[in-house]
Amino acid sequence: MASLSADLFYDILKRLDAAALARAGCACADFRAISNEEDLWENACTSLWPSTRRDDVRSLIVSVGGFRKFYADCFTLILNKDVPVVQTNESNFFAEEWAESDCYYYDDMDELENSLPSDFISLIDVWYKDRALYSKVIWGIPNSDSANGWFYNYPFRIDLFQHSAENNENNNGEVSLSTINDLPSVPSMEQERKDGKLWRELNDGIKLSWIIVNRKMKRAVNLTSWHPLSGQRHWPTDTDFVLRFGSVLPAKEVLPCQVAECILLMKFRVTSMGSEEAGEPSTLALTELSMQMEDMGGVHLNGRCSLLLLKEALSCHRSRNYDEVLESCNLYLKAQSELKEEKIRSECRFDTLCIFSGITIFAAICTMCYRKF
């Protein structure tokens, strides 16, 4: 090893992916010195995230700390184990508090001045079986002009395909999958309903990265779960497939329930059934890719709270262990389901009480009338 030149070391290390590069840096002093080179980390980032190849994005990453820091921030996923437990006894009042959509903190506009919509840049990449399918960069949050106060008070949502055609040179505004991309053929939707082969391939093959960079705070975070957390077949039409990605965000200073969910929805639609005999491929088109925020009660959060959540996410705990991240997401979904069930039980108890009270009042009135006459 001592006889090898630094140039040869560099040539060896530039062929490694980021994980192997980090491990190589722990092997010896020479590898450690060369593995700190920004060019190596830039190569690792551009190989993983095609959206980072743009010159303006490169300048952004350099300004917020460099490619090595960017990789460390964005390859790891958000891990939030602080999901509150829903009590299922009759004296529990937390469920009612969590379901209140107007129970938000931080009404002071000074806090929002540190989290302006123009400070957040989105880097979005979609893969199918390790092949880059779609890349997009959004500077600022669309339709968030502070002069129009509606953004801070209305439900927060970023919909890529309302803003995709102008910057998507590679895809020309159209993103599609077909049997040419190893997508299984779909002879008919009736057959797909029976075997679900196309649905399984989508769940296993699709991968999403949605990175938020705050240039003022000089931090970045990946809001996705890489692979789908859940999905729905044939919704809302027979030919639609919805995939749901996301993460559980800390909200201790924003919401009473202390946590919220960043929901990333991806929708594909079957545009052509194709025919194996005629050599025509089955084709799917990506028709929706969006972000929104929800509290534990399922209420869509407004722009004010969503900006504060994005700011909190930039400094939250993260993990490289995907199974651990997935477990925390499932823990949140379980608590959310229990909250909805507790709310339904509370409503049933209230309805029963109203019915019993009505019957009692009616019986009392009948008794009074009987005695009077």
Could you give the maximum distance between any two Cα atoms of the chain, in Å? 116
Looking at the fold, whether 121 and 248 belong to one and the same domain comes out as yes
Element at 119 (helix H, strand E): none
Domain contains 106 = no
Contact yes or no for 295/101 (Cβ under 8 A): yes
Domain contains 271 = yes
pLDDT at position 8, please?
64
Looking at the fold, whether 183 and 128 belong to one and the same domain comes out as yes
- The C-alpha atoms of residue 356 and residue 252 are separated, in whole angstroms, by 40
- The C-alpha atoms of residue 171 and residue 43 are separated, in whole angstroms, by 23
Domain contains 97 = no
Give me the DSSP letters along 206-269: EEEEEEEEETTTTEEEE-S-BS-SEEEES-SSTTEEEEEEEEEEEETTT-TTEEEEEEEEEEEE
- The C-alpha atoms of residue 325 and residue 318 are separated, in whole angstroms, by 8
Looking at the fold, whether 69 and 127 belong to one and the same domain comes out as no
Structure tokens at 152: 């801070």
**DSSP summary character for residue 91:** T
Question: What angle separates helix 55-63 from helix 67-75, to the nearest 10 degrees?
Answer: 90
Looking at the fold, whether 118 and 13 belong to one and the same domain comes out as no
Structure tokens at 192: 């797909």
Tokens 């095609």 belong to residue: 50
- The C-alpha atoms of residue 323 and residue 153 are separated, in whole angstroms, by 36
Domain contains 351 = no
pLDDT at position 335, please?
79
pLDDT at position 90, please?
45
> With a cut of 50, which residues of the chain have pLDDT below it?
90-109, 163-172
First to last CA, the chain: 111
Structure tokens at 348: 């049933």
What is the tally of structural domains in the chain? Answer: 2
pLDDT at position 91, please?
43
Looking at the fold, whether 248 and 179 belong to one and the same domain comes out as yes
Q: Helix %, strand %, coil % for the chain, to 5?
A: 40, 25, 35
Looking at the fold, whether 127 and 255 belong to one and the same domain comes out as yes
**pLDDT tens digits, one per residue of 134-183:** 999 999 998 877 555 688 888 999 998 754 334 434 444 568 887 777 78
pLDDT at position 198, please?
87
Looking at the fold, whether 43 and 183 belong to one and the same domain comes out as no
Side chain identity at 214, as an amino acid letter?
N
Give me the DSSP letters along 28-78: -HHHHHHHT-HHHHHHHHHHH-GGGGSHHHHHHHHHTT-HHHHHHHHHSEE
| Of 183, 170, 159, nearest in space to 284 by CA | 183
- The C-alpha atoms of residue 282 and residue 26 are separated, in whole angstroms, by 48
pLDDT at position 108, please?
45
Alpha helices (H) in 76-196, listed in sequence order: 94-98, 109-113, 150-153, 189-195
Which domain, by its residues, includes 128? Answer: 113-161+174-343
Structure tokens at 313: 């996410």
**pLDDT tens digits, one per residue of 275-323:** 666 667 778 889 999 999 998 888 889 888 899 999 989 988 888 888 8
